[in-house]
Chains A and B, each alone.
Chain A
Amino acid sequence: MLDNLHNKGIKDLSQLLSDKTISSVELVTYFFDRIDKYESQIHSFISMDKDYAIDKAIQADKLIHSKESNILTGIPYMVKDNISTKHFETTAGSKILDGFSSNYDATVVKNLNEHGAILIGKGNLDEFAMGSSTENSAFGATKNPWDLSRVPGGSSGGPAAAVSAGFSVFSLGSDTGGSIRQPASLCGVTGLKPSYGAVSRYGLIAFGSSLDQIGPFTRNAEDSKLILDVISGKDEYDSTSRGLSLEIIDDETNILKGLKVGLPKEYFSEYLDGKVKDSVMDFVSFLSDQGAVIEEVSLPHTDYALSVYYILAPSEASSNLSRYDGVKYGYSENEVDNMWERIEKSRSNGFGLEVKRRIMLGTYSLSSGYYDEYYGKAEQARQIIKSELNDIFTKVDILVTPTSPSTAFKLGEKLNDPMEMYANDIMTIPANIAGIPAISIPSSQVNGLPVGSQLVGPYMGDAKLLAIANHIQQLTDWHLSNPKLS
């Protein structure tokens, strides 16, 4: 009965717990046994605490025995290390926050803990969520469980790899330009970026505040919905949060029949790997066989999305990261003569190169004489892209695109060329710019590496998007494949 628990979804595990077939202590121990066996090869965690988790599992078992539990009670999870937690340090993958201990749990963590889920550790990430490979972490790169010589994607590489490798039942990441969906695609798991404002950002270390959103990595879309149910909601501590109405879709049986699916031609162009394109087109053929109506559409301003993002996100980041000054918290240089020297040396020694690059890029874009040409223009262009995407959903129900232009690339392959690395986000960025929901689900493999297909929906259409993804996964088994770890 303790075999292959890591392949099971939340509902099945919850049933095993409430039937008392297994206990939460046994479940948590199972996952830590896997971590002990395989984590040294993958490095998905920055921190973890087995004793703490077992203690929580004992409490969970008491709730289950007294029938005061719910579906998440006793279920182990991990969160990306840019999400604040009281028990674990929060580093944002950066030397500048090494040893930082938050005074509070992020709202998403508070909600999950109140529902009895068990936080087992913090996941590795690109420093301050800036990257697409998790190679920018100050604590070493995470490896892809499908091929240890390759990246898991980023910036939420640790959380993605943890679910893929069977180290936790689910995890939370953050997505500013694709940092949940792209690693989900590369690691063969389901990753959701909710509509902007659906989930509170209170406790999320800010990168690009108008773009950031927390979301789940899971083994399937059904679990994504369960988690989104718990973590979404209007929060008085985040004035951009609006909550989300997770409407109940009564009958998913015919959800694909007559579903209008748009294929934006700009996402299927020359920068897309040919085999990935074929794989996604096979996925589209499956949808058509199920009765979906496939239609080629055009989003002509897609080509500007990368430029818009890489002006706006670094601009916001340059402001957000100005708080790291070595004075109030974090890494601090002591061999200094005055406060300014402390601030300069602390920041210079505390931040990695990619973070410095983006701070400089953002500062330049916002600076006097260049603001109109860069930041102002990018904000205007953002409105066009948003408007174009909102309009398209008057014609189709969802869009389907590849999540990533390629499968997982080799470690070190793109580290020296920033633009080549940034281009990994080309498929995912538009959804962040427009604030609309998007989910990546495994849709097949190419040369033994996972390929994700991205489903994009209208603003606040998360419930229907998840229902569609769930129904696809009821009919297929692409999401059931696992990496072979040894």
Chain B
Amino acid sequence: MKNIDENLIGKLSGLVKLNLNDQEIKKLSVDLTDILSSFSKLNSIKLDDFNEFDDSLKENNQTREDQFESSWDKENILKNAPNHNGDELFIEHVLGEE
């Protein structure tokens, strides 16, 4: 069982865009190691006969025809946005200054 060390926590936190403090990194390293080690019992079951993507309901995708209808008005959509002018959403630059 792999030890989920603090370096790995740092890498994972980058993937999920979480800026963890030192205390959180330490705690999560211990917690995830404990949690995943208790799940190692999954290695003991024979799983060859089972397809991970099997769906016992055997349903196909439920599609429908495109329907043209009015959407919500912009004001309603943007009312929860932190930075907007009623018509546009503002965000900081994504790429670097250069």
A residues neighboring B (CB under 8 Å): 99-101, 103, 197, 236, 239, 301, 303-304, 307-308, 310-311, 318, 322, 325-330, 332, 334, 336-345, 347-348, 351, 353, 356-357, 359-361, 363-364, 367, 374, 376-381, 383-384, 386-387, 390, 418-419, 422, 435
B58 located at the interface, meaning its Cβ lies under 8 Å from any Cβ of chain A in the complex: no
Find out whether the CB atom of B50 lies under 8 angstroms from the CB atom of A384.
yes
Find out whether the CB atom of B35 lies under 8 angstroms from the CB atom of A418.
yes
Q: Which of these, B42, B53, B61, contacts A381 with CB under 8 Å?
A: B42
Q: Which of these, B12, B41, B56, contacts A307 with CB under 8 Å?
A: B41
Tell me, rounded to whole Å, the shortest Cβ–Cβ distance linking B29 to chain A. 10
For A326, A330, A334, A380, the residue with the greatest tally of chain B CB atoms inside 10 Å of its CB is: A380
Find out whether the CB atom of B16 lies under 8 angstroms from the CB atom of A318.
yes
Closest residue of B by beta carbon distance from A241: B62
Find out whether the CB atom of A377 lies under 8 angstroms from the CB atom of B19.
no
B contact residues, range: 35 or more
- The docked-state distance in angstroms from the alpha carbon of A348 to that of B14 is 11
- The docked-state distance in angstroms from the alpha carbon of A356 to that of B25 is 11
Contacts of A435 in B (CB 8 A): 57
Contacts of A343 in B (CB 8 A): 17
Tell me, rounded to whole Å, the shortest Cβ–Cβ distance linking B6 to chain A. 12
Contacts of B82 in A (CB 8 A): 326-327, 329-330, 332, 334
Q: Which of these, B8, B45, B64, contacts A236 with CB under 8 Å?
A: B64
Contacts of B77 in A (CB 8 A): 103
Tell me, rounded to whole Å, the shortest Cβ–Cβ distance linking B72 to chain A. 5
Contacts of A334 in B (CB 8 A): 82
CB-CB under 8 A for A419 and B34, given A101-B80, A337-B92: yes
Q: Which of these, A301, A337, A364, contacts B12 with CB under 8 Å?
A: A364
- The docked-state distance in angstroms from the alpha carbon of A197 to that of B43 is 31
Find out whether the CB atom of A378 lies under 8 angstroms from the CB atom of B24.
no
- The docked-state distance in angstroms from the alpha carbon of A419 to that of B20 is 21
Find out whether the CB atom of B50 lies under 8 angstroms from the CB atom of A380.
yes
CB-CB under 8 A for A387 and B56, given A344-B19, A380-B50: yes
Find out whether the CB atom of B45 lies under 8 angstroms from the CB atom of A381.
yes
- The docked-state distance in angstroms from the alpha carbon of A322 to that of B8 is 19
Tell me, rounded to whole Å, the shortest Cβ–Cβ distance linking A298 to chain B. 15
Contacts of A374 in B (CB 8 A): 36, 39
Find out whether the CB atom of A329 lies under 8 angstroms from the CB atom of B41.
no
**Majority-rule SS of A interface residues:** helix
Q: From residue 26 to 80 of chain B, which have CB atoms closer than 8 A to chain A? A: 27-28, 31-32, 34-36, 38-39, 41-43, 45, 47, 50-54, 56-57, 61-62, 64, 72, 76-77, 79-80
B residues neighboring A (CB under 8 Å): 4, 8-9, 12-13, 15-20, 24, 27-28, 31-32, 34-36, 38-39, 41-43, 45, 47, 50-54, 56-57, 61-62, 64, 72, 76-77, 79-83, 89, 91-94, 96
Find out whether the CB atom of A363 lies under 8 angstroms from the CB atom of B52.
no
- The docked-state distance in angstroms from the alpha carbon of A378 to that of B47 is 10
Contacts of B9 in A (CB 8 A): 360
Find out whether the CB atom of A383 lies under 8 angstroms from the CB atom of B19.
no
Find out whether the CB atom of A367 lies under 8 angstroms from the CB atom of B56.
no
Find out whether the CB atom of A363 lies under 8 angstroms from the CB atom of B15.
yes
Q: Which of these, A325, A360, A384, contacts B32 with CB under 8 Å?
A: A360
Find out whether the CB atom of A239 lies under 8 angstroms from the CB atom of B18.
no
Other A-B contacts than A100-B80, A383-B52, 20 sampled, CB-CB below 8 A, are A311-B39, A329-B82, A338-B96, A339-B91, A344-B17, A344-B19, A347-B17, A356-B24, A356-B28, A360-B13, A360-B16, A364-B36, A377-B43, A381-B45, A383-B54, A390-B56, A418-B31, A418-B34, A418-B35, A419-B38
Contacts of B13 in A (CB 8 A): 360
Contacts of A236 in B (CB 8 A): 64
Q: How many A-B residue contacts, CB cutoff 8 Å?
A: 141
For B16, B31, B34, B50, the residue with the greatest tally of chain A CB atoms inside 10 Å of its CB is: B16
For B17, B24, B92, the residue with the greatest tally of chain A CB atoms inside 10 Å of its CB is: B17
Q: Which of these, B45, B89, B92, contacts A338 with CB under 8 Å?
A: B92
In the complex, 6 of the A-B residue pairs with CB atoms within 8 angstroms, ordered by the A residue number, are: A330-B82, A337-B92, A347-B16, A353-B27, A363-B16, A383-B50
Tell me, rounded to whole Å, the shortest Cβ–Cβ distance linking A88 to chain B. 14
Contacts of A310 in B (CB 8 A): 35, 39
- The docked-state distance in angstroms from the alpha carbon of A390 to that of B57 is 12
Closest residue of A by beta carbon distance from B63: A239
Closest residue of A by beta carbon distance from B52: A379
10 closest Cβ pairs, A-B complex? A329-B80, A379-B52, A332-B82, A307-B39, A348-B19, A380-B47, A380-B50, A383-B50, A344-B19, A239-B62
Find out whether the CB atom of A304 lies under 8 angstroms from the CB atom of B61.
no
Q: Which of these, B17, B27, B32, B41, contacts A364 with CB under 8 Å?
A: B32
Tell me, rounded to whole Å, the shortest Cβ–Cβ distance linking B9 to chain A. 7
Find out whether the CB atom of B92 lies under 8 angstroms from the CB atom of A336.
yes
Find out whether the CB atom of A304 lies under 8 angstroms from the CB atom of B52.
no
Tell me, rounded to whole Å, the shortest Cβ–Cβ distance linking A239 to chain B. 4
